[in-house]
Amino acid sequence: MIELVIGDITRQDVDAVVNAANPTLLGGGGVDGAIHRAGGPSILEECRGLGGCEPGDAKPTRGGDLPARYVFHAVGPIWHGGDGGEEELLASCHRRAIELADEHGCRSVAFPAISTGAYGYPVELAAPVAVAATKEALAAHPSVEVARFVFRDEATLASYRAALDRL
């Protein structure tokens, strides 16, 4: 099932939270900053040992002080106009996060609107890619029961809602 809510992803009572990270996995602003601030230094410590992460991939750490047991650090594509494989990389982030959730026995996963902030992916283009990839991945991994997209603003939620309704 896919849920869409307004809120703070660091406060979600789910088994895993997906971070919108960068390839260094050494922290940043936005969701990345919020997760490291709320989750505490143990998350960064663990990230240091992961050797970075390719765009389109996601790597797991424990959740530190977050309610969630795990953080899946996904690296979304930077938007360069759409001809550089951004769509496939964005879809891949969602697939990988659900795969990791299955591997780690997580029944619920919270997603941010990956790449739609600092990475500049237009929300109305990201939304259909994100929800379609998540829907497909949930079907392939039935043990993962809930994917909850958490947004800071109504406009972004509305884009993902419209995309979900069109599926």
Residue ranges binding ligand APR (CB under 6 A): 8-10, 20-22, 28-34, 76, 112-119, 150, 152, 156
Catalytic residue among 15, 32, 57, 102: 32
Beta bridge partners of residue 17, listed in sequence order? 71, 110
Task: Decide: helix, strand or coil at residue 58.
Answer: strand
Task: Report, in Å, the least distance between residue 151 CB and ligand APR.
Answer: 6
Whichever of 61 and 156 has its CB closer to ligand APR, that residue is: 156
The one-letter amino acid at 115: S
Output 130 or 144, the one with its CB closest to ligand APR: 130
Task: Please indicate whether residue 8 is annotated as part of the active site.
Answer: no
In the complex, least distance from residue 123 CB atom to ligand APR, rounded to whole angstroms: 7
Smaller CB separation from ligand APR, 8 or 65: 8
Is 6 in a helix, a strand, or coil? strand
Q: How many CA atoms lie within 13 A of 37 on its CB side?
A: 11
Cα–Cα distance measured from residue 18 to residue 100, given in angstroms and rounded to the nearest whole number: 10
Is 151 within 8 Å of 160 (Cβ atoms)?
A: yes
Give catalytic residues, as residue numbers.
32
